[in-house]
Structure 1
Amino acid sequence: MLAKDWPTVSKIYAEGIATGIATFETNVPSYEDWDAGHLKNCRWVATEANHLIGWAALSPVSSRCVYGGVAEVSIYIASNARGKGIGKQLLQQLILDSEDNGYWTLQSGIFPQNKASVALHITCGFRHLGTRERIAQTKEGIWVDNLLLERRSKIIGQ
């Protein structure tokens, strides 16, 4: 993913926000804010017929050095490209890239209603650690649970 991809990446992000089951975010940030919150490596886009149709990136879970190998997954697919296996391709690439960059644990917080994302993560080797009950409110003020999924590398941190 490059800075020039941001207009389309942000549009896909906005589609995810609009679903109400992809993120607690209510607005797409500026590229500068998004960039500051995500790792400079481990950023990918998927294209089809020269159109950007999905993206995945990692963000640090903590600034503490002991968690330097732990990152959180963000993955979004354009509404007209869902169900085609794009998410699986992106997540598999993100996993490979994360291990190449020394990350031993990837985690995701997923709304229980987002069954496609849960299934994708399970398929790619994540396990359900638990449910954070009523962890945050949606933009409508509704308290929502969040599932915590984790993938531990089999080659890094052993």
Structure 2
Amino acid sequence: MKIRPMAQADAPDVLRVYAEGIATGHATFETETPDWDGFDRARLKTPRLVAEIDGRVEAWAVMSGVSSRCCYAGVGESTIYVGEAARRKGVGRALLTALIEASEAEGYWTLNAGIFPENVASIALHEACGYRRLGRQARVGKMRHGPMAGQWRDVVLMERRSDRVGVE
């Protein structure tokens, strides 16, 4: 496995992995995979990482901003998707660890994540990488696809505070 920065040439594989996550019905409220321009515009330019296995991108992790206010400059939302072929092989943990390190190198002191409670593997991954549960937003949105279509979904809020950045 190789972890490296995401490149535009990775778009087909990144979007394929995203589509696999959408199809589970437990990864996002999104119902359709965006085109690359939409994906690109919705996320910060860095850090963006991919995990490559045998020359093919099988997982990705990116950051999104949480606010345009300057006091939140070091707070970001982390997102990770692991394709079916790479699940339960340590790829997610290696990739999320690399994203944490890259985000700290860019000055982020807090990472947030919102995860459906049914996605126990993602919650366990985040906890293994130092995130803690802050709480649960009840009925935050109604699902339009997947096994819970038509149902209101809760989201578990998680946070990871750096022990190296923003501690002074």
Please indicate the TM-score interval, normalised by the length of the shorter structure.
over 0.9
- Give the match's secondary structure for 2:27: coil
The residue aligned with 1:45 is 50
* In structure 1, distance between residues paired with 2:75 and 2:42: 14
SS in 2 for 1:57: strand
- Larger deviation, residues 137-146 vs 127-136: 137-146
Matches within 5 A, 1:4-153: 4-139=9-144, 140-153=149-162
Task: Name structure 2 gaps, 5 residues minimum.
Answer: 1-5
Q: Tell me, yes or no, if the aligned pair for 2:14 and 2:59 is still in contact at 8 Å.
A: yes
Residue of structure 1 equivalent to 2:166 = 157
1:107 CA drift (Å): 0.6
Q: Which runs of 4+ in 1 moved over 4 A?
A: none
Structure-1-length-normalised TM-score: 0.97
Aligned length: 158
Over the matched positions of the two proteins, sequence identity in percent amounts to 50
Q: Could you tell me which runs of 5 or more consecutive residues in structure 1 were left unpaired when the two chains were aligned.
A: none
- Superposition TM-score, scaled by structure 2 size: 0.92
User: What root-mean-square deviation, in Å, do the aligned CA atoms of Structure 1 and Structure 2 show?
Assistant: 0.8
Deviations 1:3-27 (A, max 9, x none): 1101110010000000000011111
Q: CA deviation at 1:141?
A: 2.4
